[in-house]
């Protein structure tokens, strides 16, 4: 059984199950639920109203915005709440490209971005803009030099994720921002996966736009934010009453924003120590997988990777069968990104790493989080070892053939 720090968290997660899919989403902290609760009831006001109800809601909104802005080294006026990471990515790409048409119509991104970026880029191509999708190396990294070489006179924006959600590879954003600054091009980075694990500071990263999502940091789903550096022109994607300084219309989801703020407040207190703890557990899993299971391959960068990400391919094992068997044993993991779960399409990230098909089909992502304990890891390793052996036997896989 997963031993959590509080009984309530144990109940939230369900008994006798081990959750290793924190990159997909995280359980809400009880403190977060408690912080949100009044805003469903007594303090239900619309933050745009001038009466006391409205002003209470507005104060809560401002407080959450201040917490998040302080935590990333931004000014509060630079944080725009959105309905999540997906909307933040859409607003960054579509909003910046639409607002800067006088400067050009070319966008640069990478082949391993989240679909929220890739599909926004495709949409921009549909309406006549140009997009370059940079390839990555075998570890999933793109270099600052590649970015420099791809910049053209009409390039407006570069969008490179801080770390990849499937394989955990961290990108050299600081080096990339040195290039974009020198060339006078804007830089967006999707920090949805890193915000919960690594310091995200707007000036250190040197980014002009940063996407965040609450449900990856133990906050509620359906809320996120886009950091937009003061002075960056952006065209709204949602049109209406002009909320969020006219950057994102729609009555604000006050309970969710309060929950996001509270989750961020807790995060800033525990992130450093948690990341250290998870790095140790991550490296233990890596060591044990490689020691116990033959014919495995680590996906992603060996060192420049998220503290909580383990991604391996198990040659000769069908990834979907592995996932189902783990689930039957009470272990929740992922074969790729949850956002494309249910789809049997091979992962575009693993394809971009140029992996052979048998590695792509046998990939498993374990992502760790605040309730992961060493005892869970021992259990998972045992189940994993036995399951791989059984599935390989069943598949009659001749390992010498791969």
Identify the active-site residue in 339, 348, 373, 379: 339
* Separation between Cα atoms, residue 357 and residue 313, nearest integer Å: 10
Q: Is 339 an annotated catalytic residue?
A: yes
* Separation between Cα atoms, residue 276 and residue 135, nearest integer Å: 31
Residue 219 CB, shortest distance to ligand PLP, in Å, is: 10
Strand partners, 189: 210
209: phi then psi, degrees, rounded to nearest 5: -140, 140
* 190 touching ligand PLP, by CB under 6 A: yes
Q: Could you say which DSSP state residue 301 is in?
A: -
Residue 116 CB, shortest distance to ligand PLP, in Å, is: 5
**Nearest residue to 58 (alpha-carbon basis) of 264, 240, 254, 220:** 254
Select the residue interacting with ligand PLP from 45, 47, 71, 84 (CB under 6 A). 84
| Residue numbers 214-253 binding ligand PLP by CB under 6 A | 215, 224
Q: Which one of the spans 58-66, 81-89, 242-250, 305-313 is the region binding ligand PLP (CB under 6 A)?
A: 81-89
* 213 touching ligand PLP, by CB under 6 A: yes
**Nearest residue to 114 (alpha-carbon basis) of 138, 144, 84, 139:** 84
C-alpha torsion sign, points 349, 115, 247, 194: negative
Residue 309 CB, shortest distance to ligand PLP, in Å, is: 11
* 71 touching ligand PLP, by CB under 6 A: no
Sheet hosting strand 309-314, strand order edge to edge: 296-298, 309-314, 363-367
* Separation between Cα atoms, residue 111 and residue 297, nearest integer Å: 21
The Cβ of residue 238 has, within 10 Å, a number of other Cβ atoms equal to 15
Select the residue interacting with ligand PLP from 86, 197, 313, 347 (CB under 6 A). 86
Query: CA geometry: angle at 302 spanning 299 and 303, to 5°?
Result: 140
Total binding residues toward ligand PLP, as defined by CB under 6 A:
16
What is the chain's Cα-based Rg? 22
41: phi then psi, degrees, rounded to nearest 5: -115, -105
* 120 touching ligand PLP, by CB under 6 A: no
Strand 130-134 relative to strand 106-110: parallel, antiparallel, unpaired? parallel
Residue 397 CB, shortest distance to ligand PLP, in Å, is: 31
Closer of 295 and 367 to ligand PLP (Cβ): 367
The tokens describing 18, both together, are 């081990």
Closer of 190 and 208 to ligand PLP (Cβ): 190
* 116 touching ligand PLP, by CB under 6 A: yes
Closer of 24 and 331 to ligand PLP (Cβ): 24
Closer of 21 and 274 to ligand PLP (Cβ): 21
* 192 touching ligand PLP, by CB under 6 A: yes
The tokens describing 160, both together, are 């490179």
Q: Which one of the spans 57-65, 67-75, 123-131, 186-194 is the region binding ligand PLP (CB under 6 A)?
A: 186-194
Q: Which one of the spans 39-47, 55-63, 185-193, 236-244 is the region binding ligand PLP (CB under 6 A)?
A: 185-193
Closer of 136 and 289 to ligand PLP (Cβ): 136
Question: How many angstroms from the chain centroid is the CA of residue 131?
Answer: 22
Mask for 142-181, x = binds ligand PLP (CB under 6 A) = -------------------x---x----------------
Residue 381 CB, shortest distance to ligand PLP, in Å, is: 25
Largest CA distance in the chain: 74
Which residues are designated catalytic? 339
- Residues making contact with ligand PLP (CB under 6 A): 84-86, 89, 114, 116, 161, 165, 190, 192-193, 213, 215, 224, 337, 339
């Amino acid at each position: 059984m997963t031993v959590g720090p509080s009984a309530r968290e144990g109940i939230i997660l369900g008994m006798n199950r081990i959750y290793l899919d924190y990159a997909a989403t995280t359980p809400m902290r009880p403190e977060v639920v408690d912080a949100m609760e009044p805003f469903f009831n007594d303090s239900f006001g619309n933050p745009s109203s001038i009466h006391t109800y409205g002003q209470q809601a507005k104060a809560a909104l401002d407080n959450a915005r201040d917490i998040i802005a302080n935590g990333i080294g931004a000014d509060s006026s630079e944080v725009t709440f959105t309905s999540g990471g997906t909307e933040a990515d859409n607003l960054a790409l579509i909003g910046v490209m639409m607002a800067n048409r006088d400067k050009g119509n070319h966008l640069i991104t990478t082949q391993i971005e989240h679909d929220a970026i890739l599909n926004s880029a495709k949409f921009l191509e549909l309406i006549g803009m140009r997009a370059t999708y940079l390839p990555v190396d075998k570890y999933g990294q793109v270099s600052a030099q590649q970015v420099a070489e791809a910049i053209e006179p009409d390039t407006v924006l570069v969008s490179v994720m801080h770390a990849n959600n499937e394989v955990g590879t961290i990108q050299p954003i600081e080096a990339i921002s040195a290039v974009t600054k020198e060339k006078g091009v804007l830089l967006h980075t999707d920090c949805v996966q890193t915000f919960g694990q690594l310091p995200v500071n707007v000036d250190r990263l040197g980014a002009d736009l940063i996407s965040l999502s609450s449900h990856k940091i133990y906050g509620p789903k359906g809320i996120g934010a886009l950091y937009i550096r003061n002075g960056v022109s952006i065209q709204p994607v949602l049109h209406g009453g002009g909320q969020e300084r006219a950057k994102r219309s729609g009555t604000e989801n006050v309970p969710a924003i309060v929950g996001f703020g509270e989750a961020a407040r807790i995060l800033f207190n525990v992130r450093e120590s948690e990341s250290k703890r998870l790095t140790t557990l991550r490296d233990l899993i890596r060591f044990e997988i490689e020691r116990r299971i033959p014919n495995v391959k680590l996906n992603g960068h060996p060192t420049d990777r998220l503290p909580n990400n383990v991604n391996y391919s198990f040659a000769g094992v069908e990834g979907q069968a592995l996932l189902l068997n783990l689930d039957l044993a009470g272990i929740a993991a992922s074969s790729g990104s949850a956002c494309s779960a249910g789809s049997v399409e091979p992962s575009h990230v693993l394809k971009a790493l140029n992996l052979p098909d048998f590695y792509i089909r046998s990939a498993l992502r374990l992502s760790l989080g605040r309730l992961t304990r060493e005892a869970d890891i021992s259990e998972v390793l045992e189940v994993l070892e036995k399951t791989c052996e059984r599935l390989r036997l069943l598949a009659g896989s001749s390992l010498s053939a791969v």
